[in-house]
Structure 1
Amino acid sequence: MDKAVSRKMVSDAREKRVTYTTPDERASQGRVIRDSVPRSSQAGWVAPADRRDIIEILNESNEGRIAHLIPIRFGRMAASPFAFYRGAAAIMAADLAVTPTSGIRVQACGDAHLMNFGGFATPERNVIFDINDLDETLPAPFEWDLKRLAASVAIAGHHLELPASDTARIAVDLVREYRERMHDYASMRTLDVWYDRIDLQKYQDRTGDPEIVEIARKRIAQRIEVERRKTVPDHLYPKLVSDEGERPRIKDEPPLIVHPNEDLAPGIGSNYAEAIESYRQSLAEHVRVLFDRFHFVDLAMKVVGVGSVGTMCSVGLLMASDNDPLFLQVKEARASVLEPYAGKSLHANHGERVIAGQRLMQAASDVFLGWTRGKNGRDFYVRQLRDMKLSVVIESLDSGMLRQYARMCAHALARAHARSGDAAMMAGYMGSGQSFDDAIGEFAMEYRSQNQLDYRAFIQAVREGRIEAVREE
């Protein structure tokens, strides 16, 4: 995004603050967009003749990653078409860029698949359900997130060996849930939208299958109770830390957990003092008071996820006193995969970009969210490690539970988009009928086929030695 475009966005935002339009007028504007971008145009997927080679895109996305970890990344992607999809956000970003868009922009997740949603604790210690991975967040068309989420449902259904007809209905139901929730948000007061959250301890879905909802509620309650018992001192600390020696030290488990050398982490000589102080300055003043009670003890690189493998992700151990630890996850923040198609970030630091996106999209965020830049020039964002995090095990879902979980994700995505975008305009564009639902559902099923073809091409490239993939035991 060039400076002229950036200035226009700022100017447009100022104009919106002084030019009042009613929700009905904005909904009408959304309906007008259908004349140039019909909802039916969102349907289906046909790969363009000049579509880029997927291996070329994946290799390009590896630039700047730690070389010896790239085969682990590809090994995790090789596990299944669903795992491949999780690591192939850059491929889909390029594909979404050639699809019709309404032009209605939101703060997009950028990688809205089923595994990037889950439960976590708020600063008030309530457990909410929300988007929990926003590494790729950037302003972009709202349909891009929705299409990626719907396609992930279609691919998950294939992974679970569900009938295609069942999977197609689940994908359409997900879109319907998103659309109906957006209509709800369009009619709500602005602050009510901002304060809305999905409280897992009070979870309900009035339009879902009552029997499935009740099963989901019981499973959620059980998981929350288990996670509440997993305190950091009693559970995470002995799992990650050895107390042998003069001071606690994070256990090495190569190649997944290792202490970096000075080549990888030039700040190691000063115990990362400059980066820690830069991170501290990114925190709110009252949080700095809390943070200052802890002192840095150790940091080790830790391989996480699928798409993040090869980036510099670490876990830091800080202590306030004996038996009073704080674990911080330090994740490298690179340019969003959406950037070539949606415009550059307005933030000078990609860690700040991620944090700003999280605060916009999440109903509540970790108190220790912050950002910094390392001596190696890489950008990072920081948050607590595993603060009562609940994630779904896809393999444990049947058709009914996949549908319910997809509805929860759709609800969370609609709430996140309504916070940063124009809910009335999005609702007006999508309408009150099934046209939009069917169109995105059709796209999801056809993109599932594309993902299957891409996965086969990826596996073929591994077999031919074009890329190296290492399977973990």
Structure 2
Amino acid sequence: MTVTRGELAMLTTTGRDPLGLLREQNATREQWLIPLRMARMAQSPFTFYRGTAALMAADHSRDPHSGIPVVSSGDAHLSNFGFYATPQRTQAFDLNDFDESAWAPWEWDLKRLVTSVIIGGRDTDRSEKVVQAAAADAVRAYVSSLNTSDGYSPLERYYSHFNQEMARRHLGKESRRVLEEAAEDSRKRTSDRAARRLTEETADGKRRFFEAPPVMSHVADEVELNVADNYRQYLLSAKADIRMLLTHYTLEDIVRRVVGVGSVGTRCYLVLLRDADGGVLILQVKQALRSALEEYGGFPQPEVLTETTGVSGEGARVVGQQRILQAYSDPFLGFLQSASSGRSFYVRQYHDMKGSVEIGELGDTAFNGYAIVCGAVLARAHAQSVNARKVVTFIGGGKRIRRAILDWSNDYADLSLGDYQAFISSEMVDEKTGR
């Protein structure tokens, strides 16, 4: 092993240039959207943290690590867990963002989650006692769930998942109620509802997306034709049953849609499909960049993943890692690589019972319960990797690792707050749109 458990508490604060890294990222994005990205990141310390996965990966690269890699989310903060529909039309609760997914030391994901508990808790005006208890319980849940998974066979770990029934058994009344309300709200988020809210019927009987710039706007004709051509390439990466299903639909409209915080400035499109009876299906085509864990964290990737990415693009990485980390994945997942631009994309359904928990609306007890759930879900994802047993052995009883993760995460929360304050005082934030 590279380090002891206690050494995982070490945070290196030298050699950092957080604003320089953000400028470097901005240079590769659509420049007309950079002010919007900066404005969203400037809203609060937590939204800033959400947009700085690359910065955290760069900081990880300077710190001691366990040397035990697992398939990782790369951005496992509290807002990147949520509900979505399974292919069986039931609801699952799981990780739901995989843009940065790759192989990395297991503790990098856990530290990002625990730090988000601390920053998110402080950002929603909770007492330090409540914040620290939630952070500690997230680590306990991760360790406990990973130990439980170690007693399962690989097949049993593969089939395990988190659902509302598990929440009822393991969480308090307030936490159960909050998750159930969030699940109920997400069940309403369907392609039909999205079509009613985002599209209108034209005089010729077709449907067309509304214009709502800069968040949603139609693209130039040549871009639309390129996306349409790439849609056909996506079909080749989709499963055979999905390819057959999509033969019942025709492509009716394409729009650019700005999403998220850290993703603002990358290329993202919505594709409106209709069947012969007027039924709608909306797919999201989202640009996939190189994983921050590799690009900024500097962590070497397995040869098989490097080869896959080299042949099929970063979209193939995102889709592959998502299928590993989630208990159930969107059946419409696929990827493509533009022949004209070389850019990589992945494809998924838009608003298929997807929803997340707004941490600002949680009481303290529910906030703690939500942190526990996220810790357990992260453990289930990491348990799929062949190195999971090595992680269990490294962690041991859990007390020392909990202290190390908490110490590092508290220090990083303070460091991130300083970065945020420097950010909002910089020229990067437009005073008219900043906060």
Q: TM-score with structure 1 length normalisation?
A: 0.86
Equivalent of 1:268 in 224, 234, 247: 224
User: Would you say 1:343 and 2:309 are equivalent positions?
Assistant: no
* Alpha-carbon distance change, 471 to 200 in structure 1, aligned in 2, over 3 angstroms: farther
Between structure 1 and structure 2, the one with the greater Rg is 1
Q: Distance in 2 between matches of 1:288 and 1:81?
A: 43
**Deviation (angstroms), 1:314:** 1.1
Q: 2:203 aligns to what?
A: 245
Q: 1:107 aligns to what?
A: 71
User: Would you say 1:384 and 2:339 are equivalent positions?
Assistant: no
User: Would you say 1:181 and 2:153 are equivalent positions?
Assistant: no
- Native 8 Å contact 1:78 1:84 kept in 2: yes
**Where does the alignment leave 5 or more consecutive residues of structure 2 unmatched?**
none
Q: Distance in 2 between matches of 1:39 and 1:46?
A: 16
Q: 1:14 aligns to what?
A: none
**Deviation (angstroms), 1:317:** 0.3
The count of corresponding residues between Structure 1 and Structure 2 is: 424
Equivalent of 2:368 in 403, 413, 417: 403
Q: 2:48 aligns to what?
A: 84
* Alpha-carbon distance change, 290 to 296 in structure 1, aligned in 2, over 3 angstroms: same
- Native 8 Å contact 1:45 1:446 kept in 2: yes
Moved more, 39-48 or 140-149: 39-48
* Alpha-carbon distance change, 338 to 468 in structure 1, aligned in 2, over 3 angstroms: farther
Q: 2:250 aligns to what?
A: 295
Q: Distance in 1 between matches of 2:56 and 2:185?
A: 36
**Deviation (angstroms), 1:267:** 4.5
* Alpha-carbon distance change, 59 to 287 in structure 1, aligned in 2, over 3 angstroms: same
* Alpha-carbon distance change, 301 to 118 in structure 1, aligned in 2, over 3 angstroms: same
Q: 2:409 aligns to what?
A: 444
Q: 1:254 aligns to what?
A: 213
**Deviation (angstroms), 1:216:** 2.5
- Native 8 Å contact 1:71 1:469 kept in 2: no
Q: Distance in 1 between matches of 2:29 and 2:243?
A: 31
Q: 2:327 aligns to what?
A: 363
Q: Distance in 2 between matches of 1:223 and 1:467?
A: 33
Alignment of 1:308-327 (within 5 A): 308-327=263-282
Q: Distance in 2 between matches of 1:268 and 1:442?
A: 50
**Deviation (angstroms), 1:178:** 0.4
**Where does the alignment leave 5 or more consecutive residues of structure 1 unmatched?**
1-32
Moved more, 397-406 or 139-148: 397-406
Q: TM-score with structure 2 length normalisation?
A: 0.93
Cα deviation digits, residues 15-38 of structure 1 (max 9, x gap): xxxxxxxxxxxxxxxxxx3xx511
Q: Distance in 1 between matches of 2:364 and 2:61?
A: 31
- Native 8 Å contact 2:68 2:106 kept in 1: yes
Equivalent of 1:435 in 400, 418, 421: 400
- Native 8 Å contact 2:424 2:434 kept in 1: no
Equivalent of 1:190 in 146, 154, 174: 154
Q: 1:8 aligns to what?
A: none
* Alpha-carbon distance change, 471 to 417 in structure 1, aligned in 2, over 3 angstroms: same
* Alpha-carbon distance change, 469 to 362 in structure 1, aligned in 2, over 3 angstroms: farther
Cα deviation digits, residues 343-369 of structure 1 (max 9, x gap): 355112000010001001000000100
Q: 2:191 aligns to what?
A: 232
Q: Distance in 1 between matches of 2:112 and 2:186?
A: 29
**Deviation (angstroms), 1:273:** 4.0
Q: 1:284 aligns to what?
A: 239
Q: 1:4 aligns to what?
A: none
Q: 2:422 aligns to what?
A: 457
Q: 1:419 aligns to what?
A: 384
* Alpha-carbon distance change, 151 to 231 in structure 1, aligned in 2, over 3 angstroms: closer
Cα deviation digits, residues 101-155 of structure 1 (max 9, x gap): 1111111111111111111110001111100000000111111101111100010
Q: Distance in 2 between matches of 1:455 and 1:255?
A: 25
Q: Distance in 2 between matches of 1:200 and 1:121?
A: 13
Q: Distance in 2 between matches of 1:115 and 1:130?
A: 11
Amino acid at match of 2:47: A
**Deviation (angstroms), 1:172:** 1.5
- Native 8 Å contact 2:174 2:365 kept in 1: no
Secondary structure class of the residue paired with 1:119: strand
Secondary structure class of the residue paired with 1:188: coil
Secondary structure class of the residue paired with 2:94: strand
* Alpha-carbon distance change, 81 to 418 in structure 1, aligned in 2, over 3 angstroms: same
Q: 1:304 aligns to what?
A: 259
Q: 1:42 aligns to what?
A: 8
Q: 1:119 aligns to what?
A: 83
**Deviation (angstroms), 1:203:** 2.7
Q: Distance in 2 between matches of 1:470 and 1:91?
A: 26
* Alpha-carbon distance change, 466 to 317 in structure 1, aligned in 2, over 3 angstroms: closer
Q: Distance in 2 between matches of 1:470 and 1:193?
A: 50
- Native 8 Å contact 1:256 1:303 kept in 2: yes
Moved more, 298-307 or 421-430: 421-430
RMSD: 1.8
Q: Distance in 1 between matches of 2:166 and 2:138?
A: 21
Secondary structure class of the residue paired with 2:168: coil
- Native 8 Å contact 2:42 2:434 kept in 1: no
Q: Distance in 2 between matches of 1:472 and 1:238?
A: 31
User: Would you say 1:71 and 2:35 are equivalent positions?
Assistant: yes
Cα deviation digits, residues 71-129 of structure 1 (max 9, x gap): 10000000011010000111111101111111111111111111111111100011111
Percent of paired sites with the same residue: 37
